[in-house]
Amino acid sequence: MSTAHNSAEKGQFAKTVLMPGDPLRSQFIAETFLKDAVLVNNVRGIHGYTGTYEGVPVSVMASGMGTPSIGIYSHELFHFYDVDNIIRIGSAGAMSPDLKLMDVVAAQGACTNSNYVSQFRMPGTFAPIASFELLEAAVAAAREMGVRMPVGNVLSSDVFYDASNSTMDWARMGVLCAEMEAAGLYCNAAEAHKRALALLTISDSLVTGEELSSEDRQTGFTQMMRIALRVAVEMANRN
């Protein structure tokens, strides 16, 4: 039952899918953490793998960049492949001076300047939020691992190079960091009555101008990856 964007057959994705933006990060996770990982999708170079972690089936598939891209892939995973949980594991730019490079943030909520939510024809402003069940499991995993993981609001922006130079305005309301996908994922999860969470590693700072290399972004986010994998195991054990 392949789609225009996914060549996998039904049943080839696990109930929990980790979703980095970068296809090479998807490949890195599969090769580094999953046992007996099998490539189940590679349409448009969007690597999707399924294997096991601590004996639990887990999938990892890239989302590409931006809300329209993750909107397509998460919709298909939720609606066509019976996926119950999607955990975005991505990068973000710090807007809080308290965040340093390589810090991990859990997105409790996702503000956005995107028009994505308008398709659902809500008679007001919808607030995209994470699944509390996934968030609770991630916080417990981070605490057990000794990882400091701030939890709060993030900005899912449609623009990376912001001509209006207004991104930092969100910091006045306590928004921790900027990324490009969480709000779209959370909207799709809400519409499908499924669960979603975004875990983000700080790759650059809008406060200090510091940034990581592309190689660091691809292979250096292992704390975030391990937290997400522990959440996948926890969700399997609850079912």
pLDDT of residue 182: 98
Alpha carbons within 13 angstroms on the beta-carbon side of residue 182 total 30
Separation of alpha carbons 217 and 130, rounded Å: 23
pLDDT of residue 219: 67
Is residue 79 marked as binding?
Answer: no
Is residue 70 marked as binding?
Answer: no
> Any idea of the CA torsion for 189, 191, 193, 198, to the nearest 10 degrees?
10
Is residue 7 marked as binding?
Answer: no
Query: What is the topology classification, in CATH, of domain 16-238?
Result: Rossmann fold (3.40.50)
pLDDT of residue 2: 75
Token pair of 164 as six digits: 């209006």
pLDDT of residue 43: 80
Task: List CB contacts of 68: < 8 A, sequence separation 6 or more.
Answer: 116, 184
Active site annotation includes 204:
yes
Nearest Cα to Cα of residue 90 among 172, 154, 2: 154
Nearest Cα to Cα of residue 88 among 158, 18, 159: 18
Is residue 21 marked as binding?
Answer: yes
pLDDT of residue 216: 75
Is residue 84 marked as binding?
Answer: no
Q: Where are the domains of the chain?
A: 16-238
Is residue 29 marked as binding?
Answer: no
Is residue 91 marked as binding?
Answer: yes
pLDDT of residue 143: 97
pLDDT of residue 42: 81
Is residue 143 marked as binding?
Answer: no
pLDDT tens, the chain, 239 aa long? 677 788 788 899 999 999 999 999 999 999 999 999 999 998 888 899 999 999 999 999 999 999 999 999 999 999 999 999 999 999 999 999 999 999 999 999 999 999 999 999 999 999 999 999 999 999 999 999 999 999 999 999 999 888 888 899 999 999 999 999 999 999 999 999 999 999 999 999 999 999 988 777 766 799 999 999 999 999 999 87
Is residue 25 marked as binding?
Answer: yes
Q: Which residue among the candidates 158, 169, 204, 216 is catalytic per the annotation?
A: 204
Q: Is the whole model's pTM more than 0.85, yes or no? A: yes
pLDDT of residue 100: 94
pLDDT of residue 1: 64
